[in-house]
Every structure is written in C-alpha cells, then in structure tokens.
Amino acid sequence: MAPFLSMLLTDKQISILAENDIFFPYTGEKCRENESGNKALSYGLSHAGYDLRLSPDDFRIADYKRSCKALDVKRFDETMLYDATLFHERGDAYFILPPYSYGLGVSLERITMPSNIMGICDGKSTYARQGTIINVCPIEPGWSGHLTICIVNPSDFPVRIYANEGIVQVMLVQLASSVDKAYADGKYQNQGAKVTLAAV
C-alpha cells in the first residue's frame, strides 16, 4: 500500500491553482510597492505561498473600557469593539493599534480553497520583528470567503497596521486526496468582506 503523502505547494503550482480564482484578486508576483509607489509590506505570490493584504474597509479594535464582561466566544459582546480610523499619510493607509490591545481585520482577497488543499497561515515576518502578533487559523479544504484576521499589540507602544499591504502568508498543502466532507456548510463559510465575529 502506497504511503499517504501531502505536499507543500510551490509558486508554479500555486499559479496554476490561481486560474480557478483561489485568491481573488490575484497578484502573480511579489509586490513590494503600494498603489502610491511607496515601499510596502510585500503581497502576492511568493516562493512557497501567497501573501494576503489587509482590507482598508473594516478594522475593529477591542476596548476593555467599553465592557466589564469577560471575553466569551459563545456570547461575544460586540459593543466592546469600535471601528478604527483609517489614516492616510504620504501615500500610505494605516490603522493605529493601541498598546495592549487587539484588532480584527479582514483580508482584501477572497479565498476559494479546493477540496484537496489546506491553507496554513502565519503572520508576516516584518510585523513579527516589531512584536506584533498576527493570529489566523488554518483555511479548511472547501472553505470560501474573506479571512478574518486577529492582530495583537502586546507592547507599550501604539503600532501602525498598514492597509492594502501584506499581513498574512498562506502556505498551501496539497492533501493526498480530496476530503470526504469539505467545509461547504460550516458557520464561517462565505464570509463577506467584513469582520466575522465568533459563532458557536
């Protein structure tokens, strides 16, 4: 009996998948400039993954002063979140994440994962070097939608989080076969281009 093998996909393999709109919009090479021509946190196709951008359209920050309740994924108190202001400066667009807080954003790209591919997500190394934590879960085979992204600032300093630039790297793993039950009707299926809160 042959062993079950999974494989991490390369840029060539990802570009073939892109013909089926696995990432939309799709950027077929690593971009290091934003629309204004400024240096940017890279996004698009990389050697063995794809870097998603943070949408400028929805970023919410948790403020403990707005609620004295405990965080509870079963009964999330939406009133503790506020819409962050999108700032513009010399061609850059960014949000300010206060010290010791977290924000919820959403990917600019819509993802449509095939039933035999799983996405493993991790934060960009540039943000890691300033201590900013990007918390994103795996992308299940068959899942489709815009990815909700948690960004944590554990430092004493406010940090800039850039919109329309790279925020998360997705590594694609081809499974030995398609899954029996793809994520077709899960509670987070077909998330729109807005932050999706916890649902149980």
Task: Round the average pLDDT of the chain to a whole number and report it.
Answer: 90
- pLDDT of 65 higher than 60: yes
- pLDDT of 96 higher than 60: yes
Helix residue ranges, H only, 2-155: 11-17, 125-128
**Confidence class of residue 84 from pLDDT cuts 50, 70 and 90?**
very high
User: Residue 108: enclosing H or E segment and its boundaries?
Assistant: strand 101-112
Overall average pLDDT of the 47-61 stretch: 96
Rounded (10°) CA dihedral 14, 38, 167, 190: -70
pTM of this structure: 0.91
Overall average pLDDT of the 98-121 stretch: 95
Domains of the chain: 7-174 (2.70.40.10)
- Tens digits of residue pLDDT in 151-177: 999 999 999 999 999 999 999 999 888
pLDDT for 102 equals 94
pLDDT for 1 equals 43
pLDDT for 167 equals 97
